Amino acid sequence: MRTTTLFMARVIGGLALAVFVLGCADATWEGAKSANTVASYSRFLRDNPSSEHAKEAEEHIAALRVLAHQTIEAHQKFIETYPQSALLPELHRAMEPLYFQRARSANTAEAYQAFLAEYPDGELSRRANGDLAYVRMLETHPSVATLREFMRQYPESDFATDAQRSLDLVAFKRETAIAHLGVRVEVSPNTAQPQRVRRGFVALVAKEYREHGVDVTFIPTGAEPTPDMDGWLRLDYEESSASGTFGGATVLARCRVRLYHKSSPKDAVWDRTFEAPADHIVKGSYDRDKTVFGNSRYPFWSQFFVPVALWASTEARVQRLDYLEDVRAMDMRANRVALLFARGGFDLVDVSSPLDPQVVDRFRREDDLSNWTGIRIVDDKRVLT
């Protein structure tokens, strides 16, 4: 009887042990799914290589790595490897922002259409439809009415801010448009042929502005602009002698150019001073034109240019990007800017929306002794350093 009891105990104990082992295997799989990490699934595969859940565990590991890598290439590889996986719908939803970012980086009608074909009812579909509408709208030279209708229909668009900014600028332009400009030229008394210099500057300014449809009126020396003038340009020209070579002397020309608008008559919209040799006077020469408007080409004109403004555009609003690294070089192509850092890394930035620049690609090099100094955007997919 005792022997039988011990035998039964062993059998029951063996059964209990078998149940415990089987229960532990199921609990391990449930535990792996509950933790939902690469480590938990890897541990499950190590302890249960022949489990019926082994293939499913491998799929979970691959899916988690796709989410970790955050690349479209990794997602496409998962689809090719596991075309029947039950994880595909969930993974497809999770990758939507990445596909949208690709379309946003390209910023073309074709790119947005491709995204919407993939995610017609996605969380970002309204935003993509708005961006698509904006890209198409730009091709038609939109009017104020078109911009307002765009903002009404697509407030979620990335370009709603740009559209509002455009409307604000249109209104500001209308309020501050320059249709009639006054020009006043002050010439220092020691300048040779001051009247000719004065007439020359006025003619130069008038030519540039009239090409843009702006009427130009001469303001006499010492006079003030008249109320009908939307803006005025003041040029102060002076000459001074400087030592030359080979027994000659150089006339140094200095011209300060200031553009004002009637909305702020005391603050110059544009203020710049140009300085360069205007003429070389050689001993023994006679009857030579000693003004900057002579027949010779003088260095002064290689620097001078006329500021043409059709409205009071004194401010540019852009978003600032700050970097701790030393920026060594920059290149721009269309709406892309490439920034090169001292250690050889770079950022490729989408600046199609100045108020919302986006880093679309980034590369960082390991520390070394190299000193990187140049960068160039080759095309939409290549940057040369």
CATH architecture of 180-302: 3-Layer(aba) Sandwich (3.40)
Q: Does residue 23 have a pLDDT over 70?
A: no
Q: Does residue 220 have a pLDDT over 50?
A: yes
What number of other Cβ atoms are within 10 A of residue 137's Cβ?
Answer: 18
How many whole angstroms separate alpha carbon 197 and alpha carbon 213?
25
CA 364 to chain centre: 20
Among the residue ranges 2-6, 57-61, 244-248, the one predicted with the least confidence is 2-6
Q: Does residue 25 have a pLDDT over 50?
A: no
Q: Does residue 312 have a pLDDT over 80?
A: no
CATH 3.40.50 in the chain, residues?
180-302
Report pLDDT for 149: 93
323 by Cβ neighbours in 10 Å (0-12 / 13-18 / 19+) ranks as exposed
Q: Would you state the structure tokens that stand for residue 375, as one six-digit string?
A: 């960068």
Report pLDDT for 143: 87
Query: In a 3-state reduction of DSSP, which class is residue 289?
Result: coil
Q: Would you state the structure tokens that stand for residue 20, as one six-digit string?
A: 């415990």
What number of other Cβ atoms are within 10 A of residue 64's Cβ?
Answer: 18
Report pLDDT for 127: 94
Q: Does residue 115 have a pLDDT over 90?
A: yes
State the amino acid at position 275 in one-letter form.
Answer: E
Helix extents (H) in the chain: 2-35, 38-47, 54-69, 72-81, 88-94, 96-106, 109-118, 125-138, 144-153, 160-176, 194-210
Q: Give the CA dihedral 190, 191, 192, 196, nearest 10 degrees.
A: -140
Report pLDDT for 13: 38
Tell me: the pLDDT tens digits for 130-185?
999 999 998 888 888 999 999 999 999 989 988 888 888 788 888 888 999 999 99
Q: What is the DSSP pairing of strand 215-218 with strand 180-187?
A: parallel
Q: Does residue 317 have a pLDDT over 70?
A: no
DSSP 80-139: HH-TT-TTHHHHHHHTHHHHHHHHHHH-SHHHHHHHHHH-TTSTTHHHHHHHHHHHHHHT
As separate numbers, helices (DSSP H) first and strands (DSSP E) second, the chain gives: 11, 11
Mean pLDDT confidence for 123-133: 94
- Please check whether residue 69 is in contact with residue 78, taking contact to mean a CB–CB distance below 8 angstroms: no
Report pLDDT for 314: 58
Q: H or E segment at 355?
A: none
Q: How far apart are the first and last CA of the chain?
A: 89
Q: Does residue 22 have a pLDDT over 50?
A: no
Query: In a 3-state reduction of DSSP, which class is residue 242?
Result: strand
Tell me: the pLDDT tens digits for 62-82?
999 999 888 899 999 999 999
Provide the pLDDT confidence category of residue 295 given band limits of 50, 70 and 90: low
Tell me: the pLDDT tens digits for 263-290?
888 888 889 998 887 654 444 445 455 6
Report pLDDT for 61: 92
Q: Would you state the structure tokens that stand for residue 280, as one six-digit string?
A: 């070389």
Report pLDDT for 308: 86
Report pLDDT for 69: 87
